C-alpha cells in the first residue's frame, strides 16, 4: 500500500505536535512592567497567559484597606525597588495604620484547572523604623498556600535580608522587620517560594509586630513580579500523547509502505 501525501502530512504533523506541544509546564510571569494596577483598586485580575483561557491571576486586598495612603496601592518604580537595577515597576503599598493591630491581607488566586506550582515572588522593604518605640515594625504573617486538594502549606522557602528576620516554620512562618532598610536597597527583601505542590491560592498579611507602638506613621512595602508554572491539565496531556501515538503509528505505517513498494 502506498501512503497518500495527505496521510503523510497528517502523520508528520501529529508526530511534530507530540514533539513540540506536549504541555511543558512553561513558566508564566506577572511582570509589573507589562501589567499595571489601577491606583487605589482593591482587586484586579490579569490575563497574562494566552495558553490558559480568560484571566489567569486575581489579587484581592482585604482588611483595613481604608488605611492606604492616597493613590495606593499602585504600580510604580518608587518608593520601594528591592535594590533592583532599573528599577522595575512593582506593586507599591503605603499605609498609615491607627494602631499595631490593623493590617491588610493579600489573596492571590490562580485560575488554572490543575493549579500552578513553583510560585516565587519577593516583597521589598519589610523593615522597621529606627530604634524608637514610636516607629512601625513591618510584619508579613499568615503566609499560607491552598493546594488544589484544599489542603494548606507554608512557603517551602522564605528568605529574609539584613533588616528583617524570618521566624517559625510550616504554616506559621513570619517575616518581621528588625531595622531600617533604605527604600532603594535590598536590605528589606523577603523572597518567597511555594514549590512542589499544585496550588490555587496563596495569602499573606501585612501589619505590625506586637512590639510596635502604632503611632499613625506611614509604612509600606512592595510586591515584585510573581513567577509561577501552570500544572498541565490531565486532558491536555492525554490529547498530546494520543496525537503523538497516531503520528508515530502513521510514520511506521508509511515506512512499511515504502519498504513494501
Ligand atoms: Ca489567560
Ligand atoms: Ca517598610
Ligand atoms: Ca524602608
* Cβ neighbours of residue 260 closer than 8 Å, sequence gap 6 or more: 1
Q: Can you give the pLDDT at residue 243?
A: 57
Count the domains in the chain: 2
CA of 126 to the centre of ligand 2 (A): 5
Indicate if 118 and 245 belong to the same structural domain.
Answer: no
| Domain span holding position 5 | 1-24+232-261
pLDDT along the chain (261 residues), means of 10: 50 47 75 98 98 97 98 98 98 96 98 98 95 84 98 98 98 97 98 97 97 87 98 70 56 55 42
Indicate if 247 and 182 belong to the same structural domain.
Answer: no
Q: Can you give the pLDDT at residue 23?
A: 47
Q: Can you give the pLDDT at residue 162?
A: 97
**Residues, CB within 5 angstroms of ligand 1 (ion):** 47, 49, 52, 56
CA of 65 to the centre of ligand 3 (A): 20
**Is the CA virtual torsion 37, 89, 32, 190 positive or negative?**
negative
Indicate if 97 and 195 belong to the same structural domain.
Answer: yes
Q: Can you give the pLDDT at residue 224?
A: 98
CA of 138 to the centre of ligand 2 (A): 6
Q: Which ligand is nearest to the CA of 79?
A: 3
- Residues 167-175: contacts with CB under 8 Å, at least 24 apart: 171/143, 171/144, 173/143, 174/139, 174/140, 174/141, 174/143, 175/123, 175/126, 175/139, 175/140, 175/141, 175/143
Indicate if 238 and 224 belong to the same structural domain.
Answer: no
CB atoms within 10 A of CB 103: 19
Q: Can you give the pLDDT at residue 259?
A: 47
| Gap between the Cα atoms of 77 and 92, Å rounded | 8
Indicate if 168 and 250 belong to the same structural domain.
Answer: no
CA of 145 to the centre of ligand 1 (A): 21
Q: Can you give the pLDDT at residue 216?
A: 86
Q: Coil, helix or strand for 251?
A: helix
**Is the CA virtual torsion 46, 49, 52, 54 positive or negative?**
positive
Indicate if 247 and 213 belong to the same structural domain.
Answer: no
Indicate if 6 and 80 belong to the same structural domain.
Answer: no
Q: Give the CATH number, domain containing residue 113.
A: 2.60.120
Indicate if 81 and 204 belong to the same structural domain.
Answer: yes
CA of 238 to the centre of ligand 1 (A): 21
Radius of gyration, alpha carbons of the chain: 24
Q: Which ligand is nearest to the CA of 187?
A: 3
Indicate if 203 and 249 belong to the same structural domain.
Answer: no
Q: Can you give the pLDDT at residue 75?
A: 98
User: E strands within 215-257?
Assistant: 218-223, 226-230
Indicate if 36 and 5 belong to the same structural domain.
Answer: no
**What b/e sequence results for 2-29 when a residue is b if at least 16 CB atoms lie within 10 Å of its CB, and e otherwise?**
ebeeeebeebeebbebbeeebeeeeebe
Q: Can you give the pLDDT at residue 30?
A: 98
DSSP, residue by residue, 18-81: HHHHS-----EEE-TTTS-PPTT-SEEEE---TTSSS--EEEEEEESGGGBPTT-SEEES-S--
| Gap between the Cα atoms of 47 and 102, Å rounded | 32
Q: Can you give the pLDDT at residue 9?
A: 54
Q: Which ligand is nearest to the CA of 55?
A: 1
Looking only at Cα atoms, what is the longest distance across the chain? 90
Indicate if 257 and 220 belong to the same structural domain.
Answer: no
Indicate if 88 and 145 belong to the same structural domain.
Answer: yes
CA of 195 to the centre of ligand 3 (A): 29
Amino acid at each position: 500500500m502506498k501512503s497518500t501525501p495527505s496521510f503523510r502530512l497528517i502523520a508528520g504533523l501529529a508526530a511534530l505536535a507530540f514533539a513540540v506541544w506536549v504541555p511543558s509546564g512553561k513558566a508564566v510571569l506577572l511582570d509589573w512592567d507589562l501589567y499595571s494596577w489601577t491606583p487605589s483598586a482593591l482587586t484586579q485580575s490579569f490575563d497574562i497567559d494566552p495558553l490558559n483561557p480568560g484571566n489567569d491571576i486575581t489579587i484581592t486586598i482585604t482588611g483595613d484597606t481604608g488605611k492606604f495612603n492616597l493613590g495606593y496601592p499602585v504600580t510604580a518604580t518608587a518608593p520601594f525597588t528591592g535594590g533592583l537595577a532599573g528599577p522595575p515597576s512593582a506593586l507599591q503599598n503605603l499605609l498609615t495604620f491607627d494602631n499595631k493591630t490593623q493590617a491588610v491581607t493579600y489573596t492571590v488566586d490562580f485560575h488554572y484547572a490543575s493549579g500552578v506550582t513553583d510560585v516565587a515572588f519577593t516583597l521589598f522593604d519589610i523593615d522597621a523604623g529606627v530604634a524608637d518605640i514610636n516607629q512601625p515594625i513591618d510584619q508579613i504573617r499568615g503566609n499560607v498556600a491552598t493546594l488544589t486538594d484544599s489542603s494548606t502549606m507554608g512557603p517551602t522557602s522564605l528568605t529574609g535580608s539584613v533588616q528583617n528576620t524570618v521566624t517559625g516554620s510550616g504554616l506559621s512562618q513570619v517575616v518581621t522587620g528588625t531595622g531600617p532598610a533604605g527604600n532603594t536597597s535590598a536590605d528589606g527583601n523577603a523572597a518567597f517560594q511555594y514549590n512542589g505542590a499544585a496550588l490555587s491560592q496563596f495569602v499573606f498579611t501585612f501589619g505590625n509586630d506586637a512590639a510596635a507602638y502604632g503611632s499613625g506613621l506611614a509604612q509600606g512595602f512592595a510586591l515584585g513580579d510573581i513567577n509561577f508554572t501552570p500544572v498541565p491539565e490531565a486532558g491536555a496531556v492525554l490529547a498530546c500523547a494520543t496525537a503523538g501515538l497516531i503520528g508515530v503509528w502513521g510514520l511506521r505505517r508509511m515506512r512499511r509502505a515504502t519498504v513494501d513498494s
